[in-house]
Amino acid sequence: MDVQNPSAPSRAQSADGADRPHSRATRRPPVRPTAHPTAGVVHENTRHTTRFTVIGNHLAQHRELSLLAIGLACHIQSLPTGARSDIKTLTARFDEGSTRIAAALRELEAHGYLRRELHRTPTGRIVTRTVSCNQPGAARPSHAHPEPATPPPPPPFRTPADPPAEWHRVRNCDGCDRGFRAPESQPRCPGCRKAAAPV
């Protein structure tokens, strides 16, 4: 086995001391520093602008759901409103059998990602509506129409106050030049009269 000499020059030198260029065969590409980890997942993402569905990590990384249930939930969340998502339709779409798909749907129901409701159609037929919940436990929107607000009851009837027996024209106070209503015999407004009254 060859012993390496740590004090040896890193490149071969000619007799005159000039460095000899390496041959093309012994050159190595430069090592570039990288910010990526040396192992594990590295994401190469391109932003979606059309035809995409937002899936929460609480679903995609759920520790209690099977892989089939997670995949089925993602598929159902990507469907347009009104699309069929019953066991027969899902079995025709995927290779898994109806037993496995039914079990996955039950998993999703147990964890709140799916709700199946029975509804009667106008013709009287009972149908199942599948409700996909992208955030289980969030407040459920109310589909019922709110009750119309009742108008407030009218205030109790009051007899209008009698109009004053005599209307006086507006004129200016002789003391402060402020406008006020009073009989001609009162040349000053109430404020000036009060200020001029003897204590």
Q: What is the CA radius of gyration of the chain?
A: 44
**What is the structure's pLDDT at 156?**
67
From CA 57, how far away is CA 59, in angstroms rounded?
Answer: 5
**What is the structure's pLDDT at 4?**
57
**What is the structure's pLDDT at 178?**
80
Helices first, then strands: H and E counts in the chain: 5, 4
**What is the structure's pLDDT at 2?**
57
**What is the structure's pLDDT at 66?**
96
**What is the structure's pLDDT at 104?**
96
Counting as low any pLDDT under 50, the low residues of the chain are 14-15, 144
Contact 72, 90 (CB under 8 A): yes
**What is the structure's pLDDT at 22?**
52
**What is the structure's pLDDT at 63?**
95
This prediction's pTM = 0.52
**What is the structure's pLDDT at 58?**
94
